[in-house]
Amino acid sequence: MKYPLIKTSLPGPEGKKLIQIDQTYVSPSYTRVYPLVVKEAKGVWVHDVDGNVFLDFTAGIAVCATGHCHPEVVQAIRDQAERLLHMSGTDFYYEPQIVLAKKLASLAPGEGVKRTYFGNSGAEAVEAAFKLARYHTRRELNIAFFGAFHGRTMGALSLTASKTIQKKHYYPVVPGITHIPYAYCYRCPYNLCYPQCGLECVRWVEETLFRTTMPPDEVAAIFVEPIQGEGGYIVPPPEFHRELYKIAKKYNILYVADEVQSGMGRTGKMFAMEHYGVAPDILAVAKGIASGMPLGATIASAQIMDWEAGSHASTFGGNPVSCQAALTTIRLLEEGVMANAAAQGDRMINRLKELQKVYECMGDVRGKGLMIGVEFVKDRETKERAGDWRNLIVRRAFERGLLLLGCGDNTIRFCPALTVTEEEVDVCLSIFEKCVREIAR
Which residues of the chain form contacts with ligand PLP (CB under 6 A)? 121-123, 126, 149-151, 225, 229-230, 258, 260-261, 286
- In the complex, minimum distance from the CB of residue 152 to ligand PLP, in angstroms, rounded to a whole number: 6
- In the complex, minimum distance from the CB of residue 151 to ligand PLP, in angstroms, rounded to a whole number: 4
- In the complex, minimum distance from the CB of residue 25 to ligand PLP, in angstroms, rounded to a whole number: 21
Closer residue to ligand PLP, CB minimum distance, 289 or 361: 289
Closer residue to ligand PLP, CB minimum distance, 221 or 260: 260
- In the complex, minimum distance from the CB of residue 370 to ligand PLP, in angstroms, rounded to a whole number: 15
Closer residue to ligand PLP, CB minimum distance, 100 or 214: 100
- In the complex, minimum distance from the CB of residue 195 to ligand PLP, in angstroms, rounded to a whole number: 26
- In the complex, minimum distance from the CB of residue 150 to ligand PLP, in angstroms, rounded to a whole number: 5
Closer residue to ligand PLP, CB minimum distance, 253 or 415: 415
Closer residue to ligand PLP, CB minimum distance, 149 or 398: 149
DSSP secondary structure letters along 171-192:
-S--SSEEEE----GGG-TTS-
Longest dimension (CA), the chain: 62
DSSP single-letter state for residue 51: S
Shortest CA distance to 267 belongs to which of 348, 345, 331, 328? 345
- In the complex, minimum distance from the CB of residue 180 to ligand PLP, in angstroms, rounded to a whole number: 17
Closer residue to ligand PLP, CB minimum distance, 236 or 401: 236
Shortest CA distance to 345 belongs to which of 272, 436, 276, 414? 414
- In the complex, minimum distance from the CB of residue 123 to ligand PLP, in angstroms, rounded to a whole number: 3
| Whole-angstrom distance, CA of residue 330 vs CA of residue 313 | 24
Full strand arrangement of the beta sheet holding 405-407: 362-368, 371-376, 411-414, 405-407
3-state secondary structure of 152: coil
Residue nearest ligand PLP (C-beta atom): 122
- In the complex, minimum distance from the CB of residue 418 to ligand PLP, in angstroms, rounded to a whole number: 16
Residues linked to residue 283 through DSSP beta bridges, in sequence order: 257, 299
| Whole-angstrom distance, CA of residue 127 vs CA of residue 384 | 35
- In the complex, minimum distance from the CB of residue 34 to ligand PLP, in angstroms, rounded to a whole number: 18
- In sequence order, which residues have a C-beta less than 8 Å from that of residue 82 and are 6 or more positions away? none
- Per-residue HEC secondary structure of 57-105 comes to CCHHHHCCCCCECCHHHHHHHHHHHHHCCCCCCCCCCCHHHHHHHHHHH
DSSP secondary structure letters along 265-282:
TTTSSSSGGGGGT---SE
Closer residue to ligand PLP, CB minimum distance, 11 or 263: 263
Closer residue to ligand PLP, CB minimum distance, 52 or 158: 158
Phi-psi region of 5 (alpha: psi -120 to 50; beta: other; left: phi over 0): beta
Closer residue to ligand PLP, CB minimum distance, 122 or 318: 122
Compute how many other C-beta atoms are within 10 angstroms of the C-beta atom of residue 170.
11
Residue 400 backbone dihedrals phi, psi, to 5 degrees: -95, 0
Angle between helices 422-440 and 387-399 (to 10 degrees): 130
Report yes or no: 165 and 200 within 8 Å, Cβ to Cβ.
no
Closer residue to ligand PLP, CB minimum distance, 134 or 150: 150
